[in-house]
Amino acid sequence: MTTRAVREPDAGSALLMALLVSTLLCGLGLGLVLVGDTETLVASNFRAGTEAMYAADAALELVTSEVGRVARWTDVLTGVVTSGLVDTTLHPVLPSNVQIDLTTLTSQLQGASDAALALGANSPRWRLFAYGLVSRLASPSLLTNQSYVAVWLADDLAEIDGDPWTDTNGVVMTMARAMAPGGAVRTIEATLAHPNPGSGLLSDVRLVSWREVR
């Protein structure tokens, strides 16, 4: 009787200790799983953001190449000249099955520009120039990039002739946006200048300014 009275409390303590250790190990394991999932998500978002930035920059390079061969940049601003990258719809469905409305995006860009600048008749009028999947640019480094790009053009702020559709100084502003699968979006704002539009010499086109819009 004495032996049984001593061992039973020990057995209960051992069981309690085993339960506590099991609970701690389960919690630790769950924590490691959550950390692993978080790291995977962070890495995935970083990759998507990087791909979107490359896509936006590639779209900007395309537009720089195209407008550099236009005789009058007024034709670019008014829509007489269009890009070689033009989708068949203004409501494309991205590879992630998310539909975007380019008309609405253009209106939002114009509204934000008008509110920020408030230049009246000299306020830039943004026109959608190029839009489509960046993989259509056929660059080997972009073939697996599923970002959708859109580039808008507008007359620069230096012109105060009251006509935002006419370029007289060979300077235009661009806004290049890339939307990657997963929701990553990157936007680049740049200003291009060409001392001799229509010369066909890309070396003449200068990148006056470049910045990522956040």
Q: What is the pLDDT of residue 44?
A: 58
* Largest separation between any pair of C-alpha atoms in the chain: 108
- Cα(137)–Cα(84) distance, integer angstroms: 9
| Choice among 31-40, 118-127, 173-182 with the minimum mean pLDDT | 31-40
In contact, 156 and 172? CB cutoff 8 Å: yes
pTM: 0.79
Using CA atoms, how far residue 171 sits from 37, 158, 168, 194, 199, in Å, is: 47, 9, 8, 6, 15
- Cα(177)–Cα(4) distance, integer angstroms: 78
